Structure 1
Amino acid sequence: MNKNILKSIQFAISNGTEYDKKRKNVKTFGSDWMKFPNTERSIGIFPLNEMLEKSARVFGSNIALRTKTPQGWCEYTYSQLLSSVKRVADYLRRRGYRKGNFIGIIGENSPEWVISFMAIQWIGGVAIPLDPRAREMELHPIFDHSGLRAIFASTRHLAILTRMKESGDFRKDRLVISMQETGKDDHLPRILSDFRDDAEREKVSLEDLAVIQYTSGTTGSPKGVMLTHQNISSDINSLYQAVVFDQRDRFFSVLPIHHAYEGTAGNWLPLSVGASITYSRSLRSKEMLEDARETEPTVMLAVPLLLEKMFLGIQKRLDESPRYVKGIMVLLTGCASLLNGISKRSGSKFGFRKLRERMGFGKLRFFVSGGAPLLPWVQKGLEDLGFVVLQGYGLSEASPVLTLNPPQETRLGSIGLPIPDIQIKLVDPDPEGIGEIAAKGRNVMLGYYRNEEATQEAFTPDGFLLTGDMGYEDKNGFLFITGRRKSIIVTKGGENIFPEEIERLLLESPFIEEILVVRGHHSKTGDEEVQAIIYPNFEELNHHLLREGIERLNAEEIRKVLQEEIDERGKKLAAYKRIMYFTVRTEEFPKTTTNKIKRYLFEQQDLKRK
């Protein structure tokens, strides 16, 4: 029997799952024997430290983590990962850290980040992942609120922590451990060489706290989301039941690991099934594609902005191609569409196989899109090139995934179906069926750390988590998001306007890079109206104006082009939803970790219509 198949069977048995003898082996990728949602298979629900121990026992020689360095590829097998985790755990215990202690991690995606996180779990500690892009003024309230006792930090964050210690914003008795080599004693390379790998795994229950995930989202007020081992592990199990994953998968990690989306779905899930994770050196397209070509990923998590830039990059290269290449592309597109009508996706997969292989995504099973709504034209454009894009939905408070599109049947614009063991309902739906999305399941948080009032407000009387997102479901149960509850604009006539609906429509314009639709007032009448703040695509505007014979960008011409786009695309909207006034930004909007615009910074502004 194939060695990898034997490992899968052993792993299933070790988790108390009965292997289905009717299935002769593990089905190959792309087969449809496992429909979504599916509750036939389970990998079990375990504390995170136990999950790692089981994976190391079954998949010991498999590559778990890797990243490219100037010296070449740095790789850890599952056995080496567990050994490293035990050494760091031994160090932490010798320094006096025990079960229940709060320990932070701040740094870029790397194997060392995962080793630090799992070492905290090994001793039964509580990990506090921190945003590596956060400024000192953003970190200070989290340090103060959490009371963390130690922190693992990458080299570039050591200077920040030193300054914070000197200014009194970071207690001097807190231990700082560098994840890279330094001249001081407390750094991972020295710990991994000097300490023993026989530290025993701390016994923790599923109800014990594993992570406090600080999140401000788009509201600006950081809250500590308390996630237990059961919360995270049950979400992993639900995802596993929804989509086939196993040790043959190669995950490609580009999103920040401190975020719950990349943490759970992009790291702890693959580590639970023996898959490998490659950390891209950066988001620069050259390095990212080089890493992808060398590792041939099968799964990649992304946010919509990344997928949009990827698709537009492909389009731009094709537009700059010789005429005969464009002709071939037109022919391929036509043939692919014809074949797709006979067998779904087959034409696109075959016709554009070489293009995907040149990008390093020839073996990619699917992109998973989350963190923000995916524009339908981006999804369709990628699917026309043979990519499979699964849009999902969740939030940190749910560990985080709640819904996902089935690989066999994706719906444009939909966030999919509830994954197994998740209950979804719509609270107070209006006559059109739009209500607030609420969720219940073992993956839902305990509450907000030291914030009982916010915890009470987050749940319905019957225990459903209120997401703050408004949406509806179609006749087949697929969910669609219309916007945020707090962002709704209500007209004098009582109509509800969802800014996100207007934003999605305007973002189809090649001249609009980013847009924020807000509530405003007419300067003379005082009447409430729909207004917008626009960050243009200056490169596209420049090309367009050059074709019109205008050699230099100027504010008047920019406004003229944008107004034409707003007027033309606004014809698709009801009159009360149309943008009446807009201003232009010359720099990108500030964003959250998942590239959502920090809406709260602008919603209180009242644009002055001239």
Structure 2
Amino acid sequence: MRTLVDLFHSFAPRGDKTALVNRTGVRRFAVSYGELSVLSLKMAALLARHGVEPGDRVLLWGPNSSWWGVAYWGIIMRGAIAVPVDFMSDRGRAESILKLTQAKVVLQSRFKPERLQVENSLLLEDLKYLLEEVAPYPDVVHPAPDDIAQLIYTSGTTGNPKGVILTHKNLVANILQINRQVPIITPEFSFLSLLPLSHMFEQMGGFFTPLYRGGAVIYPRTLKPSAIMEALGEEDVYVIMSVPRLMQLLKTTIERELAEKHLTGVFAALARIGAGLSKPARKKLFFPVQRKFGAHFTVFVSGGAPLDPDVFRFWDSMGFTVLEGYGLSECSPVLCVNTIDKQVAGSVGPPLPGVELRLDGKEVVVRGDNVFPGYYQNEAATRDAFTADGWFKTGDLGEIGPDGWLTIKGREKELIVTGGGVNVYPDELEAVLNKVPGVKESCVIGLDRGAGEEVHAVLLLDDSGAKPDEILARANAQLDTMHQITGCTIWREPEFPKTTTLKIKKFQVKEQVKQGAAAGGAGTTQDHLVNLLAKVTGADPAEIKEESLLVADLGLTSIGRLELVNYLEQEFRLDIEDSQIGPQTRVAEVRRIIARREKGHRRGHYRFWTNSAPVRALRMLGDALLNYPLYRLFVKLEVRGRENVEHLDGPVIFIGNHLGYFDQPSLMFALPREVRYRTATAAWEEFFFGDYHGLDRFLRLAAYQYGTLFLNLFPLPQTSGFSTAVKYMGKLTDRGLNTLIFPEGGHSHDGAMQDFQLGLGIIAKELEIPIVPVKIVGTDKILPPKHTGLPNRGTVTVSFGKPLRFRFEEPAEIVARAQAAVAEIQ
């Protein structure tokens, strides 16, 4: 294998083997290797249509997904140069990279509130439809190993970002080096992708490596904790590519659960017992925790920053394997990694085969085929990056043990040199501070006040009320006198600014502390939350205050609420329910939810087991003995357009007008038997679970029990918790089941069809399945909504229209077209 094209040619022969899996939070979409091959060649043809020639740059700015993968391989197979941009970057950074690369096409995402306003732009989420009519690209590209495959732009902490040139040779070399060092990956392995594909650590370890070995990659849409745990519970995950901060967050989650169950002491005792046991024995001892990660979970791979030895020991004590590695984008990116046979806390392991490593003073310098040739159109930066004899200067300070294993001490540019000439490594002090009660997170920086740098701590505190002076005193008591912290600043925002690998952007923190000191405060930043609220509501950012009510003052609509929740999940990796944001929610409360990472708890009334074969058989029996005979006492049923539903290709959404209580049984009995018993009906949740008391409450709960068992109803809330219902519908769809919805949201009181609710558009957009319009006539004469006596006898007509398929339409367009389709049925 000499180029990425050689790797791509291995995809088609693998056929139906799963390559990529999208978990949208509502649906699960799998892409096989064969499909990945065809779609990527179609993508290459689409890029050619948009004027992309070999050697042109294509900007790729979107979240991890199979469509990101299709776009990437399409770029490669067109002979173009991929320019991945961190999805969490703001528009300003993306615009800067666009200008620096003169990209011919921009591939971006609908999930970004602010997009690049350029003419030649495509949405990644639209590729599913854009590629339908495109023929696979017929030309075969033959790049040379030294041709540029992609440009990765650095964070640009001191000016314009620098474009790291990575050639086909660089990337292929690192793929082969990693697989020689850690030769455990098989086609059975699946990787849970949690880090951005714009970051070389994830791209190499969680994209190229599994695809090289024939494994699968799983992409959750958001990185909120519940989405991660759901993926672990439902997918057979073998590997998680991680960063130290994520390892710490997972550790904290487990410790919090233990504390809530009063098991902290038991855990500590088990850890002491496990210390003398083998790793397989520790895995059995901590089976309850191991079980959460799945039966075949094999390894955490940690990179991007030094891993705290205490965090390593926490996971190791439970029998987990943690491979800490080290690298930089300029090195494709991996240079060192621990081995499966041996892991050492605090060490990043030995160099990969083919990587040469030495210390130049205390700085780590390297060379190998995986090391980049230079920065894009930046000769000065390229010269500065290499030693006179051609070794790349990493900028990291390290120590090499007698066995050749490397330990990283910190970044040279972050090293604090005190007035006494003492070198202080911030990472070591932060590890101490973060364990002091009251500290949620810390950032240690050097402040130069004219006599050398002072060691300064910036503290993000929890709600315990701990005093800063006491925190510093406790931390300094554990530090050498030469490494004492001399001052601190309290960080007033919910979180430190971070990269997508969760590293604190220290240069931003330092600048804000300086500005705050000059102004007599702790400094402020451009308010990301305010900008987000302005984008969703259309309000003027200047008018958004902490006491502003989201609904009354800012005009947040019910659909806007769902959009806001989606953005908050993406931007802040939150577990949040739309039920947490209501008419009385203020901006300050949203900020508190973000700061405290308050998880939304909603008790759903969902019973998926009612779709099981035994309950389906019970439903058939109930229809034969009770429901249908009772229905026929009052109704003569006429069915039209039945041919439109007799041969459905996959699950659909049935929608109909809503005249009375006989609508649901009329529509269901009009369906072919094989369709009827694979269809669930959305029912107004508040009808069953509103503020009812006494006999009324009992009767409604009894109706819910009967409805879920014998009518296959599930609740669809009108006020809050809509996202939970959509997720349930996604589960139905993934199992090949249909959904019936009455989108007016209530019965018509005069026979005229009311406006359909916009939620239908969101449901259709998320489920990505056709809508079958249905018109019902006559049920209002049988049992009108407010009728209290026995039903009347009469005729009911149910007419099915042709399935509607949607592609690029937005929710409002979907709703308008669907309502018109129902109205037009004769």
TM-score (norm 2): 0.60
1:260 aligns with 2:215: no
Corresponding residue to 2:23 among 53, 61, 68:
68
Task: Please list every run of 5 or more consecutive structure 2 residues that lacks an aligned counterpart in the other structure.
Answer: 522-826
> For residue 498 of structure 2, what is the aligned residue in structure 1?
591
Most deviating of 111-120 and 135-144: 135-144
User: Is residue 531 from structure 1 mapped to residue 470 from structure 2 by the alignment?
Assistant: no
3-state SS in 1 of match to 2:125: coil
Structure 1 pair 371/218, CA: closer, same or farther in 2 (3 Å)? Answer: farther
User: Residue 347 of structure 2 contacts residue 407 of structure 2 at CA under 8 Å; is this kept in 1?
Assistant: yes
1:326 shift after superposition: 5.0
Asked if structure 1 preserves the Cα contact closer than 8 Å seen for 2:457 and 2:485, the reply is no
The CA deviation string for residues 368-419 of structure 1, in whole angstroms up to 9 with x for no partner, is 1111111111111111122111110111111111110112111111111101
Instruction: Give the match's secondary structure for 1:88.
Output: helix
Larger Rg: 2
Q: Distance in 2 between matches of 1:472 and 1:217?
A: 27
Q: Tell me the residue number matched to 1:201.
A: 140
Does 1:114 pair with 2:69? yes
Contact residue 496 and residue 509 of structure 2 kept, 8 A: no
Task: Give the equivalent residue in structure 1 for 2:165.
Answer: 226
Q: Select the residue among 261, 267, 273 that pairs with 1:335.
A: 273
Partner of 1:179: 124
Is the 1:209–1:226 Cα contact (8 Å) retained in structure 2?
yes
Q: How does 1:575-590 map to 2 (within 5 A)?
A: 575-587=481-493, 588-590=495-497
Distance 1:451 1:483, change over 3 A: same
CA–CA distance in 1 between the matches of 2:86 and 2:192?
Answer: 20
**Residue identity in the other structure for 2:501:** T
One of 284, 296, 299 as aligned partner of 1:350 = 284
Q: Secondary structure at the match of 1:160?
A: coil
Structure 2 SS opposite 1:161: coil
1:467 equivalent among 386, 394, 411: 394
Deviation at 1:73, TM superposition (A): 1.7
Where has structure 1 moved over 6 Å in runs of 4 or more?
none
Name the structure, 1 or 2, with higher relative contact order (CA <8 Å, separation 6+). Answer: 1
Where does 1:55-454 land on structure 2 (aligned, <5 Å)?
A: 55-57=11-13, 59-69=14-24, 72-157=27-112, 160-162=115-117, 165=118, 172=119, 175-181=120-126, 188-197=127-136, 199-216=138-155, 219=158, 221-244=160-183, 245-322=185-262, 325-326=263-264, 328-339=266-277, 343=278, 345-357=279-291, 359-428=292-361, 435-454=362-381
Aligned-residue CA RMSD (Å):
2.2
- Give 1:5's aligned residue: none
CA distance in 1, matches of 2:211, 2:28: 19
Q: Which amino acid aligns with 1:528?
A: G
Measured in 2, the distance between the counterparts of 1:407 and 1:314 equals: 24
Over 3 Å counting, the alpha-carbon distance change for 1:218 and 1:507 in structure 2 is: farther
User: Match for residue 15 of structure 1?
Assistant: none
**Equivalent position amino acid for 1:531 in 2:** V
User: In 2, Cα distance between the equivalents of 1:412 and 1:331?
Assistant: 21
Cα shift readout 1:483-536 (whole Å, capped 9, x = no counterpart): 2212223344433222233223323334323322223357xxx64353323233
Shift in Å, 1:71: 5.7
**What does the per-residue CA deviation read over 1:430-473, in whole Å, with 9 as the maximum and x for residues that have no partner?**
xxxxx100110111112101110000000011111100001111
> Does the CA-based 8 Å contact 1:438-1:465 persist in structure 2?
yes
**Farther-moved stretch of structure 1 (485-494 vs 290-299):** 485-494
1:569 equivalent in structure 2 = 478
Residues 54 and 80, structure 2, Cα contact 8 Å, conserved in 1: yes
- Name the residue aligned to 1:18: none
How far residue 248 of structure 1 moved from its aligned partner, in angstroms, is 1.3
User: Does the 8 A contact of 2:472 with 2:485 survive in 1?
Assistant: no
Q: List alignment gaps of at least 5 residues for structure 1.
A: 1-44, 166-171, 182-187, 429-434, 543-552
CA contact (8 A) 1:220 1:598 kept: no
- For residue 169 of structure 1, what is the aligned residue in structure 2? none
Segment drifting more, 65-74 vs 261-270? 65-74
Alignment-derived partner of residue 425 in structure 2: 498
In structure 2, the residue matched to 1:558 is 467
- Superposition deviation, residue 228 in structure 1: 0.3
Quote the residue 1:50 is aligned against: 6
- Whether the 8 Å CA contact 1:336–1:346 is kept in 2: the answer is no
- TM-fit CA distance, 1:348: 1.6
Aligned-pair CA distance for 1:61 = 2.1
Residue pair 2:418, 2:454 contacting (<8 A) in 1 also: no
Cα deviation, residue 266, structure 1: 0.8
Assess, with a 3 A threshold, how the Cα gap between structure 1 residues 390 and 510 changes in structure 2: closer, same or farther.
Answer: farther
Q: State whether residues 104 and 130 of structure 1, in contact with CA within 8 Å, keep that contact through their aligned partners in structure 2.
A: yes
For the structure 1 residues 531 and 495, does the alpha-carbon distance in structure 2 shift closer, same or farther, using more than 3 Å as the test?
closer
Tell me the SS of whatever aligns to 2:446: strand
Give the C-alpha shift of residue 560 in structure 1: 3.7
